[in-house]
Amino acid sequence: MKKIITVCLAAMLFVIPSPHTLAQNNKVSLKEKAHSLASELVASYGVSGLQYAIMDHGSIVLSDSAGVYDKATNSPVTKDTMFGIGSISKIYVTAATMMLVDSGQVDIDQPLTVYIKDFKMADERYKEITPRMLMNHSSGLYGSHYGNSMLFDDNDTQNHDELLRRLQSENLKSDPGEYSVYCNDGFQLLEILIERVSGVSYSEFLEKYISTPLNLSSTKTPLDDFDRQKLAKTYFPTMDHALPVENANIFGAGGLYSTAEELTKFADVLIGNRTDILSEQSVKSMQNHEYKKGLWVAEEANIFNYGLGWDAVRLTPFNEYGITALNKGGDTVSYHSDLTTIPEYNISIAVLSSGGASIYNSAFTNNILLEYLKDKGIIKDILPNKTFEAPVKVEMPSDLLAHSGLYGMVGETIHVEIKNGEIDLPAFIGGLVPPQQYVYTGDGQFKSKDGSAVISFEQQKNGVTYIKLSTYLNFPGVGQLLMVTYEYQKLDPNPLQEATRKAWENRNGKKYYALDEKITSMFYLSQEILTKNISVDLEYGYATGTKIMDENKAVNVVKIPIMNGRDAFDLNFYKEGHAEYLVIEGFSYISEDAVKPIYGGKSSTCTIPSNGRAVWFKIDEQSANKTMTVDIPEGGGFAVYDAKGIPVNFSIASMSNSVVLPEGGLIVFGGNAGEVFKINLSL
C-alpha cells in the first residue's frame, strides 16, 4: 500500500510535532510514561484513538489507551475496542500455513502449484514459486492487486475471487528466490492455499483453529458476523465526521480486526508457548533470517530483516542490547498497527491506532518496551537517542562522478547529478526524509545537512547499482527509528525509435483516471490514488519508472530489495474510438483527453455503462460554483475533487448528495451497470 500510505503520511506531515519529551523521572510509572507518549501521538501525529497492551509470561501487565473511540461523543477507547490490524494479518496467514505444515499437509519448499493447481502465470518461472517464497517476500510477484479491496461497509470478495485469473496474464519481476521485496499478493495466495488444503474458508479456519482455542472473541475478518460498533471510528483530514466501516477485503495480506490484548495473546503462539496450536519447529522456522538468502543491504542493524511473515527477526534497537526482538507492522487506509515480541523473555507488546501511521506506533513500541525491560532489570540503562552534527565536506574522488545518471524506483525516475561533491535528491520515505542536498564526507558517503541521513552507491552481485539510504527518523516526543534501504537503482539508456518516441511524447504529463474501482472503495477519498500520472523521459526511454518497449507498452525493470521495488506494474495503452485507455493489472484508466465537461445546464443525467465502469467529468467555467444535487440510485455514489485533487465531497462517506462544484475539478460517478443519476445544477 505504498501509494496509499504515502498519501496518508503527506496529510500527517501538515501536523507539526510538539517538542514534548518523555519525562525522565525514575519515579514516574511505566503506565504514566506510556500514557504520556500515547497522548503525544494523539496530540501531534494525526491519531484519533490509540490502544496498547503488554503481555509478560501469559499475563497482561499493561493495557491502556489514549484519544477517543468516537469524536462525536468523545467516548474513550477501551480494551475491547477493535481496530483493523493491517499487515499484521500476514503473521496470521503465515502461522496458519505452518499449522498445515505441522499436520503434514503442506511442505513450504514444494511448488505452490502442488497446492493451488490452477495457479498459472504468463511467466514460466511461476512454477518455481514455493509457499516459503510467499512468506519471505521473494516470489518475484509484482506485488499487490489492490483493486476493489479497501471498501466502505462492503465485504465484497471480488479481489480474492479474481486474483488467480488476473495473475494468469502477468509476468514476474525477478527469478523466484532472487531477493525479498515486500509483496502483498504472496499472502493472498497463502490464503487461497489454506482454503484449498483445508477445505474451509479462511475465515472459518481462523475461527476454528486460532480464535476458538485462544478464546479470541474480537479477532475477525470482514466476512465474520460481529458488532461493527466495536470498531474504532476512523476519520479523514478534510471531513469532520466519522467514516463508514472500513473493510480491507484482502484477509491474508491485511484484512483482520483485533484488539491489542488479543494480539499479545496470539503472540504467545508465535513465541512457542502454545505448541497445541503451532509447533516449536514451525515457530523457529518463522524466525529464520530469510532475508539473507538473496540480495540485501549489508547492515545488520535495521527495522527490516524478513523472516517468514515477520518484517524483522532482528529488530533494532533491541539487537544493540543483545536481545532478539521480532516485529510486524501494518497499515490500511485508516488503521495502523505494530506488534513486537521478545521470545527469550516471553514479552510482547501491541499498539493499534485509528489515524497516524504504523511507523509512529513502532517508535512508541520501542520506547515503552525498553522502559519495561529496564524496569524488570533485563537491561541496565537505555541508550540515548543518536545525535548528529552538520557534515564536513571533503574532496570527492573523481571516480564517484560515474554514478551520475538516471535512477528509478517503482513509478518514478530521477536524474542524479554529482557535482563538486554534492547531490540534490528528492524526499524519501513518504516525506519523512525531506528533499535536500547531500555532501561528500569520505568513505563513499554523502550526508544530509543535519547528518542524520547518509547516502551511498552500492553495486550488488546482480550488477545493479543502488542508491542506499541509512537514516535515523526522529519523532519528537515519541522516539527514533533506524532505517536502511535501497531507494533507487541505476537504469541503462533505452533509445527509442521515432514512432515510439512520438507516441510517448504525446502522453507525457497526462493523467489517466481509474474506471474499474467500485464506488464503495476508500480510494475515492484521494484522487491521487485513482490517477496514473505519466511522466516520460524521452532521453533515456522510460515512463513513470517503466522501460518503454514500443508505442503502447512499457514494462517494469525495477529490482530493488526490501521496500522500494514493491507494487511494480507495466503500462499498456489501447484506443477505443477517439479515447485512449491505460491498463494496469487488468484494470483500465481513461485519458484526461477523453473526459468531457459536465453539462452546465439545469438538469442532466449520467448512466453507468453496461461494462459497469465509472464515469468521469471535468468541471469547467460553465458549471463551476454551481450547486450540484444528485438523485443517487441504490448502490451508486459520486465523488467531487477540486483542482488540486482534494475531495470536496464523496457521497459514500459524507452521506450528502449535494455539493458546490469547484472550477478545474473533477466528478466521478460509480454504481451498477445501467443505473441512472439525475443531476441538477443551481446557482
Query: 331-343: per-residue pLDDT in tens?
Result: 999 999 999 999 9
Give the sheet arrangement for strand 666-670, strand by strand: 596-597, 615-618, 666-670, 637-641, 647-650
The mean pLDDT value for 454-467 works out to 97
Cα(76)–Cα(78) distance, integer angstroms: 6
According to DSSP, the β-strands at 326-331 and 335-342 are: antiparallel
pLDDT of residue 27: 54
- What is the pLDDT of the chain when averaged over all its residues? 95
**Cell numbers standing for residue 87:** 499487515
Residue 200 has pLDDT above 60, yes or no: yes
3-class secondary-structure state, position 327:
strand
What is the share, in percent, of the chain residues with pLDDT greater than 90?
95
Contact 347, 318 (CB under 8 A): no
pLDDT at 10 (0 to 100): 39
Confidence of residue 13 (pLDDT cuts 50, 70, 90): very low
> What pLDDT does residue 300 have?
86
Tell which residue, 658, 668, 531, has the closest CA to residue 598.
Answer: 668
Q: What is residue 20's predicted lDDT score, i.e. its pLDDT?
A: 35
Report the amino acid identity of residue 546: T
Q: Which three cell numbers stand for residue 475?
A: 519523532
Residue of 197, 279, 294, 247 lying closest to 561 (CA atoms): 294
**SS3 category, 75:** strand
pLDDT digits (tens, 9 = 90+) for 399-429: 999 999 999 999 999 999 999 999 999 999 9
Q: Does the pLDDT of residue 4 top 50, yes or no?
A: no
Beta carbons within 10 angstroms of residue 162's beta carbon = 14
Instruction: Check pLDDT > 50 for residue 65.
Output: yes
Looking at residue 26, what is its pLDDT? 45
Average pLDDT, integer, range 525-541: 97
Please report the pLDDT score of residue 190 as a whole number: 98
Give CA–CA dist 332/353, Å, rounded. Answer: 11
Confidence of residue 604 (pLDDT cuts 50, 70, 90): very high
Q: How many CB atoms lie within 10 A of CB 172?
A: 21
Comparing CA positions, the residue from 380, 366, 344, 156 lying closest to residue 247 is 156
> According to the model, what pLDDT value does residue 62 have?
97
> Cα–Cα distance between 552 and 570 in angstroms, integer?
11
**pLDDT-based confidence at residue 309 (cuts at 50, 70, 90):** very high
